[in-house]
Structure 1
Amino acid sequence: MIWLLLAIGGGLGAATRYGVVLWMEHKEQPYYVATFIVNSVGSLLMGVALHITVDQQLSTAFFSTGFLGAFTTFSTFAFDTVKLIREKDFRGVFLYPVLTLFSGIILVTLAYQII
């Protein structure tokens, strides 16, 4: 049962992330904007998920590990940063990682404190 919930959550999270990527491409935003958005929203949702108590093991498998694990993406964040380095976008190389890390920490903390 848990494996199935994990797989369904992961599939939904990955599909949602891809939808955000397509939406940002349609809006003609830089490639790293979609990654920033999903990682920020995912951090906010993780703060909310810390309070889910219905069935901790099942909700963690589906939502936290499955959906949010596939929705958010550290590897793409790292790749985008390297891509900015290769493009010699030194402002982006500094701002993108700093803003991503701070927004993630602030949003997960904020959501956890509010709920």
Structure 2
Amino acid sequence: MTLFVVAIGGALGACTRFAVIQWFARTARPFYIATFVVNSVGSFLMGMALHLLESSVAFAFLALGFLGAFTTFSTFAFDAVRLMRTSRLQALVYVLLTMVISFGCIVLGFKIR
């Protein structure tokens, strides 16, 4: 049962991430901004889920499934490599900001009661 719940959450999270990335692409923002926003928001929600969800099924659906697929390290890494081709400094700033902001967001989300 838990595997099915994680799979459904993961499918919904991946589709939501795709929709957000497509929306950002239509607004002519740089390609890496969408991934940065998705990872920051997802980290904040993951922090909240860590202490708000009592049910293991709800945690499996939201945290492991939906947010696990919504946030994405591989796309972040891919975007950093693409950005490195044009500006190593921008790529470094992107990587550092993503790490610091995502970590800060998960801590902030966890502390909100």
| TM range, smaller chain | over 0.9
**8 Å contact from structure 2 (residues 47, 105) kept in 1:** yes
The secondary structure found in structure 2 opposite 1:8 is helix
Segments of 5+ residues of structure 1 without an aligned counterpart are none
Map of 1:30 onto structure 2? 30
Alignment of 1:33-112 (within 5 A): 33-55=33-55, 57-87=56-86, 89-112=87-110
C-alpha displacement of 1:43: 0.5
Aligned residues: CA RMSD: 1.1
Q: CA deviation at 1:19?
A: 0.8
1:27-64 alpha-carbon deviations (Å, 9 max, x no partner): 11111011001000000001100113431x21221011
How many angstroms apart in 2 are the aligned matches of 1:93 and 1:53? 35
Distance in 2, matches of 1:97 and 1:16, equals 23
**Residue 95 of structure 1: CA displacement?**
1.2
The corresponding residue for 1:14 is 14
Gaps of 5+ in 2: none
- Are the aligned partners of 2:38 and 2:71 in contact in 1 as well (CA < 8 Å)? yes
The aligned amino acid for 2:109 is A
What is the identity percentage for the equivalent residue pairs of Structure 1 and Structure 2?
48
Aligned residues: 113
Q: Distance in 2 between matches of 1:20 and 1:53?
A: 25
State the SS of the aligned residue for 2:29.
Answer: coil
Q: TM (normalized to structure 2)? A: 0.94
